[in-house]
Amino acid sequence: MKTSKTANSAFKIQPVFVRYLCVYMSLKSIVLYTTLFMCTIAKAQSTDERLAAQFYDNQEYIKAESIYKKLFKKHPSSVYIYENYLNTLIALKYEKEATRMVQKQVKRYPSQVNYQVDEGYVLLQFDKKDKAEKHFDKLTRTYSDYPETLKFLAQCFDRRGLRSFGILALERGVKKRGIIALYEDLSQAYKAAGQTKNLIDITMKALLADAQVFDYATSIIDIAFDKQEDANYLQSQALTYAQKNPSNQVFDELLVEVFLQQKKYKSALRQVISLDKRNKTKGSRVMQLARLCVNNQAYDVAIDAYSYVVELGKYERNYHNAQNGLVDALYLKTTQAINPHQQEITSLITKIQDYVGDKGISQETASSQYRLAELHIFYNNNVPAGVGILEEIIRTPRLRASFMAKSKLLLGDAYLILNNIWDAKLMYGQVDKQFKEDALGQEAKFKNAKLSYYRGEFEWAKGQLDILKTATTQLISNNAIELALLIQDNTGLDSTEDAMKEYAAAEFYLYKNDVAKCTEILNMLPFKYPNHTLNDEIYYLKAKVQEKIGNHEAANTLYTSIYEKHGEDILADNALYRSANITLFILQDREKAQSLYEKLILEYNSSLFAVDARKMYFALKDGEDVDGTSFNTLQN
């Protein structure tokens, strides 16, 4: 029988295919077995490492040593195995083995100085201090000409708890390669070691070599202000270098920073004026310092700074900004004093009027005009004059929208004092609508709610206050919470809410500076509503009346009565905080004031005043100076 050609061909190819298939299967088996073998080794190795680490952690060093010895032979480059093996040998006091191991590493990796450091480290562990120190000394000299190696060397010393040798290495590098190459590392080492005077000295030399390190230098020497002795040394060194190098302004700049850190604003101003004259900057730098002083309530220095710029002349570019800044600083100093004197108010009004003259409202004078309106409305009992200024401001084109809104809010306050309720609502409403999601809008909404409260519209007022409890501005949020609580705690107790309406009216009279009418209502309330819960609120408002007329001791007596007799009521922490401030700033009793701040922190730790009370407490405890310049800003 004949076989076909195709069948015959297939028959001939089959043995070849079988041979290749066998070879393929053999290679696949080899790869498979090799992979399995390597996985077995890795698993065994991983098991050994885990077992050794377990013995090491349990301080079973003899068991750990035998395993680490085998592991280290196979993996001498493993830092983890090396560290644990070395520590194990040291713990077992195997000096020869530890020395030999480290020396082998030095030969294997001659460029890695960490092993060379470990040679000396092992000597130290076996009480060979002299040999170790000679070794370290030689090591620091060997690499003193190589800054990058020295940086790593210092890190290696530090890792072994040998920071002094790291500092020595960097110091030797500075002598060889100059200070700038290693200033950052050496200064950080001095700071970490608490060697503040060395840090100051090296910083002076670095600034002399390169003024561009100024920003880094001022950040690294902040440690100097932790102790007065170090701060004095820094100031002395900066002054010495400034005198020896009069053409190098970097030390004058450093002195400014030193004075500012210590809140020596007068000294800082003298220094800045000197720089301003030397560089002919026409008061620009002085203006910056003046604003900083205002923010830190150093009003006298701010006044001197702005006055300097004003005296440069009315045609200089900073003149109008300086005039407005001067008015602002004088206003804040005068109105935030413990007892603002009418004579000072009158003097400031005259000063502002002399500046603005007959110029009318403009971009240059608007800020000072605004302050003049405030003085007339709240301190000079001339509300119509303030209204006239503000109405002119809001008619003036091209003023900033935010400034215009502030002016409308103040005009609304003035209208409210004049009982022009609807115009007040209109002003508040315009700002609320224009700045709905902004702090100005939230302030406008609060003022509108307060107006409704004064009018006895408690439900509507509380609805607005509830919205403002989550206001982004903390002051608005706090005020909204307090007023909402006052309404909630004292309404719904009778069907007419007459007592609360009369109390709100009394508050309104005090807002309008009608002390007599406010006092008359407060005196009658306990007789008209003897069983009402307003007793602590009445005492509180009476205390504010006494403060208003400058009778702070009487006010303090009333505040004391509130937190002692009504300690669970919502105004107890307010009264305690006010009492503490009067005790400190008026009665000048620091010890008693400190105890009152402490009482507030401990007994009313969730109070809105707790943060400020804590600041005052620690300031008094640390013996810091506090004055009454910002007395009124501390009151709610």
CA atoms within 13 A on the CB side of 2: 3
Q: Which of 395, 353, 397 is nearest to 371 (CA)?
A: 353
Sequence-ordered alpha helix ranges (H) in 221-298: 228-244, 250-261, 265-279, 284-295
Highest-scoring range by mean pLDDT, 63-67, 384-388, 629-633:
384-388
pLDDT over 80 at 336, yes or no:
yes
pLDDT at 51 > cutoff 80: yes
With 0-12 CB in 10 A as exposed, 13-18 as middle and 19+ as buried, what is 99? middle
Q: Could you tell me if 168 and 195 are in contact, meaning their C-beta atoms sit under 8 angstroms apart? A: no
What is the number of domains present in the chain? 2
CATH code for the domain of 628: 1.25.40.10
Q: Categorize the per-residue pLDDT at 33 as very low, low, confident or very high, splitting at 50, 70 and 90.
A: very low
Q: CA separation (Å) from 151 to 113, 146, 170, 550?
A: 11, 9, 7, 65
- Which residues are within 8 A (CB) of 455 and not within 5 positions of it... i.e. 6 or more apart? 421, 504
- Give the residue from 243, 262, 281 where a domain finishes: 262
> pLDDT of 91-149, one tens digit each?
999 999 999 999 999 999 999 999 999 999 999 999 999 999 999 999 999 999 999 99
Domain with residue 232: its CATH number is 1.25.40
CA dihedral 88, 92, 95, 96 (to 10 degrees): -80
Q: SS in 3 state form for 531-575?
A: CCCCHHHHHHHHHHHHHHCCCHHHHHHHHHHHHHHCCCCCCHHHH
Cα pseudo-dihedral 157, 160, 163, 166, rounded to 10? 0
| Structure-block tokens of residue 418 | 């004049």
Distance CA 358, CA 360 (A): 6
Contact between 259 and 290 (Cβ < 8 Å): no
Residue 569 lies in a domain: yes
pLDDT at 24 over 70: no
Q: Residue 474 — very low, low, confident or very high, per pLDDT cuts 50/70/90?
A: confident
d(CA 633, CA 636): 8
Q: Region 174-196: what's the mean pLDDT? A: 94
Q: Domain range for residue 249?
A: 178-262
Indicate if the alpha-carbon torsion angle 322, 323, 329, 330 is positive or negative: positive
> What's residue 11's pLDDT?
35
Final residue in a domain of this structure, among 233, 262, 291: 262
Long-range contacts of 18-24 (CB under 8 A, 24+ apart): none
Residue 361 lies in a domain: no
Taking alpha carbons only, the member of 602, 632, 628, 633 closest to residue 617 is: 602
Query: Each residue of 254-272: pLDDT tens digit?
Result: 999 999 999 999 999 999 9
| Candidate from 381-385, 532-536, 538-542, 577-581 with smallest mean pLDDT | 532-536
DSSP letters for 86-155: HHHHHHTT-HHHHHHHHHHHHHH-TT-HHHHHHHHHHHHHTT-HHHHHHHHHHHHHHTTT-HHHHHHHHH
pLDDT exceeding 90 applies to what percent of the chain? 72
Longest Cα–Cα distance in the chain: 140
* Residue 562 and residue 569 in contact, taking contact as beta carbons nearer than 8 Å: yes
Q: Which of 200, 227, 262 is the last residue of a domain?
A: 262
User: By mean pLDDT, which of 180-189, 447-456, 532-541, 574-583 is the weakest?
Assistant: 532-541
The answer to whether the beta carbons of residues 315 and 364 sit under 8 Å apart is no
**148 φ/ψ angles, rounded to the nearest 5 degrees:** -65, -40
Within a domain: 233:
yes
pLDDT at 538 over 70: yes
CA 533, 536, 538, 540 dihedral sign is negative
Is 613 part of any domain?
yes
Q: Tell me whether residue 173 is in a domain.
A: no
Q: Which of 481, 421, 426 is nearest to 457 (CA)?
A: 421
Going by the DSSP 8-state scheme, the letter that residue 76 receives in this structure is: T
pLDDT at 632: 57
CA distances from 3 to 10, 11, 15, 17, 281 (A): 11, 10, 18, 21, 112
Q: Is residue 610 part of a domain?
A: yes
